Amino acid sequence: MDDIIANDEQIEQILQQTTVIPEQAADGIIVIDLAGKIRFVNAAWAAIHGYNAVDGLIGKHISEFHTEEQMENFVADFIEEAKRRGQLSGPVERVRNNGTVFCSQTKMTLAKNKKGKNVGLVVFAADTNHNGQTQEHLNEKITELTDKNEQFKQQIDMLKQTESELEEQHDQLKQRLNQQNTELADAKEQLQNKINNQKQTEEYLRQQLGESTAANQQLMEQLTEREHTESELSNQLEQRLNQQNTGLADAKEQLRNEIAERQQIEQHLKQQSDELITTITMNEQLQSQIFEYHETEKSLKQKIDELSVANEQLKHRITEQALAEDELKIQNDLLERNIKQ
């Protein structure tokens, strides 16, 4: 592992950087890697902790000099804070080889290799018998620090609970947003379907109007043709009158027949004219319906615009909520830093 001291050469490099490691030092000194394994220990350290030699201490864990309760309640957090800050000092409770508990002023300094990577900690421990601090005073300090540490843990738990509640609210808000987006999408689809249906209806009406116009044109052509036919018949009648003076009676009878036929034709034309008027009336009604459909389409488009505005407002509210959550997280980070300090 890159961040753990792996061999004696790295240990020697750390000792050279500290420049205060001679065996004759009065203070106890050890070097541990980032996992807490002891890589170096001087004679003063062994003596302070009730050991006659240093040979059996190399390779053991730093918990060798602490009780399980000390490690859990204070020492482990003290080591992590020293790693984070780079250097940390303060009173730390320890246990001697014979089981007696004592307190010493401790200083931890983060050690790095030539590449600048963190590889371990150099730990200094002063014997309280030489520095004027009483055991009772140090025990009070330890108790006070332990109480504060417990308070900090409670505050962190409260912050985690608050963060969990905020995440739950965020999930609920996100769920509501997804639901509203789904509803908006459904409404938009329904409106689009109505518009498509109206367009189809409008196209059908236009087609009907075109067919009616074609029928009107056809009726006008038939009427013109009837008039032309009537004119031809009148000319033929006049020629016959001029040519057949002797057949006047027959001509009159034939004329009556033709007049009767013409009356029938006129009656038929009148019926077609009434049908044409009815068709024109229907065309006017169709045009009125087309106008109403256009008005309905405008109203539907206006509703779509209103829904789009509502959607934008909802997105804006979500953005504000996200900004508030980011600000709260920043405050949580600041509070955690203040707690650790």
Q: Could you tell me if 232 and 179 lie in one domain?
A: yes
Q: Is residue 138 part of a domain?
A: no
Give the pLDDT score at 132: 41
Q: Could you tell me if 181 and 315 lie in one domain?
A: yes
Strand-pairing partners, residue 88, are: 108
Q: Could you tell me if 106 and 185 lie in one domain?
A: no
Q: Could you tell me if 177 and 56 lie in one domain?
A: no
Q: Is residue 272 part of a domain?
A: yes
Among 9, 142, 11, 30, CA closest to 77 = 142
Q: Is residue 291 part of a domain?
A: yes
Number of domains in the chain: 2
pLDDT digits (tens, 9 = 90+) for 178-187: 888 888 888 8
Q: What is the pTM of this model?
A: 0.38
Alpha-carbon distances of 76 from 50, 66, 68, 164, rounded to whole Å: 22, 10, 10, 26
Could you tell me the two tokens for 127? 């014997």
User: Contact at 8 Å (CB) between 39 and 120?
Assistant: yes
Give the pLDDT score at 24: 56
pLDDT digits (tens, 9 = 90+) for 201-244: 878 877 877 776 777 677 678 767 877 776 787 677 677 767 76
Which residues of the chain, if any, have pLDDT below 50?
Answer: 1-7, 18-22, 130-134
φ and ψ at 111, to 5 degrees? -105, 145
Could you tell me the two tokens for 141? 């300090």
Angle between helices 135-243 and 248-340 (to 10 degrees): 170
Give the pLDDT score at 100: 94
φ and ψ at 42, to 5 degrees? -95, 175
Angle at 238 between CA 233 and CA 243, to 5 degrees: 125
Return d(Cα 138, Cα 127) in angstroms, integer: 12
Q: Is residue 3 part of a domain?
A: no
**Owning domain of residue 239:** 159-340
End position of a domain, from candidates 94, 116, 133: 133
Q: Is residue 323 part of a domain?
A: yes
Q: Could you tell me if 191 and 127 lie in one domain?
A: no
Where residue 75 sits, what CATH number does that domain have? 3.30.450.20
